[in-house]
């Protein structure tokens, strides 16, 4: 082993230790984040992610309700006319792919910067809330 290789090994070891310490700080500080008034970019990104996760939970509930409604439509139809639930599933999968790409595109406003993730999460939340309302409206047809 040459000195140069040993030096790189030490650098990587120190970077791994530093990374672990920073991750621990991020996790510990995340517990103290006030999402009603985030102060720094890390907090804004954290809060945007949490808002999207909450919106995603609402979306999943609305999707299940809409799926139940679609299944009820299929119940009374002859086999050759059924397909409402599967069509909804396919539409939801297509919507998720669309949302992900649309939000990725929004993230390019700050590509490579510290705001990029926040922009993407904020887009996810906005689009997810809109889709949730669409699914709720569909489920309420029942």
What digits encode the pLDDT tens for the residues 49-65?
Answer: 999 999 999 999 999 99
Together in a domain, 12 and 44: no
pLDDT at position 1, please? 43
Q: Which two tokens stand for residue 36?
A: 């009603």
- The reply to whether 16 and 84 lie within a common domain is no
Mean pLDDT value of segment 18-34: 59
Contact between 141 and 69 under an 8 Å Cβ cutoff? The reply is yes
132 Cβ contact list (under 8 Å, min separation 6): 55, 58, 59, 62
Same domain? For 69 and 131 the reply is yes
> Is the domain of 135 the same as that of 110?
yes
Q: State whether 3 and 60 are in the same domain.
A: no
- The pLDDT of residue 19 is above 70: no
Q: Give the tokens for residue 110.
A: 């700050």
The stretch 14-38 carries a mean pLDDT of 63
Cα(35)–Cα(33) distance, rounded to whole angstroms? 6
Of residues 82 and 12, which shows the higher confidence score? 82
2 pLDDT tier (thresholds 50, 70, 90): very low
Q: What is the pLDDT of residue 141?
A: 66
Q: Two tokens at 26?
A: 């991020």
Residues 55 and 75 grouped into a single domain? yes
Count: domains in the chain: 2
Position 140 scores a pLDDT of 87
- Global confidence as pTM: 0.75
Both 70 and 133 in a single domain?
Answer: yes
Q: How far is CA 6 from CA 13, 19, 115, 123, 131, in A?
A: 10, 20, 36, 45, 54
The whole-number pLDDT of residue 76 equals 87
- Do 12 and 46 belong to one domain? no
Residues 50 and 14 both lie in one domain: no
| Structure confidence at residue 32 (pLDDT) | 84
For residue 96, give the CATH number of its domain.
1.20.1270.180
- Crossing angle for the helix pair 3-30 and 41-75, nearest 10 degrees? 70
Give me the domain span that covers residue 78.
Answer: 35-139
Task: Give phi and psi for 111, each to the nearest 5.
Answer: -50, 125
| Residue 4 and residue 51 share a domain | no
pLDDT in tens, 68-107: 999 999 998 999 999 999 999 999 999 999 999 999 999 9
Cβ atoms within 10 Å of 122's Cβ, excluding its own: 21
Phi, psi of 35 (to 5 degrees): -70, -10
| Cβ-proximal residues to 45 (8 Å cutoff; 6+ apart), any chain | 114, 115, 117, 118, 121
CB atoms closer than 10 angstroms to residue 139: 18
Looking at the fold, whether 92 and 104 belong to one and the same domain comes out as yes
* One domain, residues 57 and 18: no
């Amino acid at each position: 082993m040459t000195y140069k290789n040993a030096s790189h090994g030490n650098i990587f070891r120190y970077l791994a230790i530093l990374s672990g310490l920073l991750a621990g700080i991020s996790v510990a500080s995340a517990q103290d984040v006030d999402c009603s008034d985030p102060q720094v970019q890390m907090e804004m990104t954290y809060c945007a992610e949490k808002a999207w996760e909450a919106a995603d939970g609402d979306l999943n509930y609305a999707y299940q309700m809409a799926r139940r409604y679609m299944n009820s439509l299929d119940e009374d139809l002859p086999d050759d006319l059924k397909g409402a639930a599967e069509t909804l599933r396919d539409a939801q999968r297509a919507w998720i792919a669309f949302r992900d790409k649309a939000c990725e595109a929004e993230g390019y406003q700050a590509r490579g910067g510290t705001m990029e993730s926040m922009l993407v999460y904020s887009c996810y939340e906005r689009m997810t809330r809109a889709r949730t309302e669409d699914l709720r409206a569909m489920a309420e047809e029942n």
